[in-house]
């Protein structure tokens, strides 16, 4: 049997209409959305299915919305008695991975992401920040530019997604300077449509409050290993996992290293569970040319049925 990983997307995967077909098809998805709406005090079914996109993209709305859709897709897969060997999620998606691994309940997963979204929104209002994608330079080259520009940790690497796909984060003037230097070296710099400088020092003010909240939530030993963003490795102790998730707020997402870890573990089936195809796209830029692997995206009933036919 080939080893499989469940991957869960984060911010940027959202679209109006996401999850609607699962909502119509399954009673348990409607119950999940009701629970998520009760926790967040947001009408998530209306927001996810009808938008507007401007409201859906607000981080305080987006985090519970994307998570609810990812968990809905996950529940449909679990109903078919299909389980992964590993779990991983990109930034926000790591919380769905914790749920898939049996570390945190669905209810507590939604509580965590809603609190996280509130605190991140609070800090983004206090501290204006931005994020740019740098395409065409290695992580070492980008880190060298960051070091050259950085003042008071005002710019840093947010995500290392693929060999030459790196996201920087921080205060606008320093992010812009790094981008200009990157362009001068032949790279592309693309400003991202985000409302804050995620995974940066500008989120530090949320850390204490989030840590206090995380420690009110029950974390249990993983049933399946999770590859964590902060370490690109697994952890087995619930208390250590709590610390990792708090640290994730201001630390870079080591996604490229996480995918390499899965290659080293000889994982060949990669199932992106949740809205969009962002992770599948990154994966195709990450995998060694001669590596045997198959990528699935489970974001609609149609793609879910395709997945079932292939794995059953």
Which residues are catalytic, by number? 91, 199
Phi/psi of residue 134, each to 5°? -105, 120
Which residues, in sequence order, are CB contacts of 236 under 8 Å at separation 6+? 221, 222, 225
Degrees (nearest 5) of the Cα angle 82, 70, 210? 120
| Distance of alpha carbon 99 from alpha carbon 102, whole angstroms | 5
Q: Which residues 6+ apart lie within 8 Å of 138 measured at CB?
A: 163, 164
CA angle 299, 67, 234 (to 5 degrees): 95
Report residue 56 as tokens.
């859906």
Report whether the peptide linkage leading into residue 52 is cis, meaning its omega lies within 30 degrees of zero.
yes
| Helical segments of the chain, H only | 20-25, 27-40, 44-50, 53-56, 59-79, 93-100, 106-126, 139-149, 172-184, 204-214, 238-247, 255-264, 278-286, 301-311
- Rounded Cα distance, 168 and 146, in Å: 8
d(CA 242, CA 216): 10
Phi, psi of 153 (to 5 degrees): 55, 35
For residues 92 and 85, give the distance between their C-alpha atoms in angstroms, rounded to a whole number: 21
């Amino acid at each position: 049997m080939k080893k499989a990983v469940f991957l869960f997307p984060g911010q940027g995967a959202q679209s109006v209409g996401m999850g609607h077909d699962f909502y119509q098809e399954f009673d348990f998805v409607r119950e999940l959305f009701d629970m998520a709406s009760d926790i967040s005090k947001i009408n998530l079914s209306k927001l996810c299915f009808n938008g507007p996109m401007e409201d859906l993209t607000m981080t305080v709305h987006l985090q519970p919305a994307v998570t609810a859709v990812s968990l809905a897709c996950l529940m449909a897969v679990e109903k078919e008695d299909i389980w992964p060997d590993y779990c991983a999620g990109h930034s926000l998606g790591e919380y769905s991975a914790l749920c898939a691994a049996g570390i945190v309940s669905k209810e507590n997963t939604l509580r965590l992401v809603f609190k996280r979204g509130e605190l991140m929104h609070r800090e983004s209002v206090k501290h204006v920040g931005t994020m740019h994608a740098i395409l065409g330079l290695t992580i070492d080259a980008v880190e060298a530019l960051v070091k050259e520009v950085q003042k008071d940790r005002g710019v840093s690497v947010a995500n290392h997604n693929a060999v030459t796909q790196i996201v920087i984060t921080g205060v606008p003037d320093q992010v812009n300077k790094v981008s200009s230097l990157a362009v001068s070296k032949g790279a592309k710099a693309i400003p991202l449509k985000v409302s804050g400088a995620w995974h940066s020092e500008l989120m530090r003010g949320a850390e204490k409050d989030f840590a206090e909240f995380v420690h009110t939530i029950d974390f249990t030993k993983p049933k399946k290993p999770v590859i964590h963003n902060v370490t690109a490795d697994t952890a087995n102790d619930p208390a250590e996992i709590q610390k990792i998730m708090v640290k994730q707020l201001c630390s870079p997402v080591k996604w490229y290293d996480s995918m390499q870890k899965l290659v080293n573990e000889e994982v060949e089936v990669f199932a992106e569970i949740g809205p969009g195809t962002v992770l599948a796209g990154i994966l195709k830029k990450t995998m060694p040319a001669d590596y045997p692997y198959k990528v699935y995206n489970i974001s609609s009933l149609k793609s879910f049925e395709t997945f079932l036919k292939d794995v059953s």
